[in-house]
Amino acid sequence: MNENQKPNGGIDIELDAEVAKGQYANLAIISHSPAEFIVDFAAMLPGLRKPVVCSRIILTPEHAKRLMLSLQENVARYEQNIGKIDISQHAPFKVMGDA
């Protein structure tokens, strides 16, 4: 067992106070190469000339797919426990991609 793994199969992670505050994003720009997916999270806000990237995440293709599946599973679990997420009434979280 790796020193970062817990006996129940979880991973022991550390969350620093600054990172724990989080970042607001309403725009994601996704690009990829054969070796990686790059996801830039940005905030597009009134009064700003252009969106400002607040975080860049670089993933292997395998981890990008695992993230996608995990998000699908968590949205399904959220909707089962709390209720359907209606995205027709709200401004969309814009996702822009280039291949």
Q: Enumerate the domain spans of the chain.
A: 18-82+92-98
Say which residue, 61 or 91, is predicted with more confidence: 61
Q: Which CATH number fits domain 18-82+92-98: 3.40.1350, 3.50.50, 3.30.420, 3.40.50?
A: 3.30.420
- Per-residue pLDDT averaged across 66-85, rounded? 97
**How far apart, in whole angstroms, are the C-alpha atoms of residue 25 and residue 68?**
17
pLDDT at 11 (0 to 100): 87
Nearest by Cα to 59 from 42, 35, 41: 35
- 60 pLDDT more than 90: yes
Instruction: For the chain, count helices (H), then strands (E).
Output: 2, 4
Burial class (CB in 10 A: 0-12, 13-18, 19+), 68: exposed
pLDDT tier at 98, thresholds 50, 70, 90: low
pLDDT tier at 96, thresholds 50, 70, 90: low
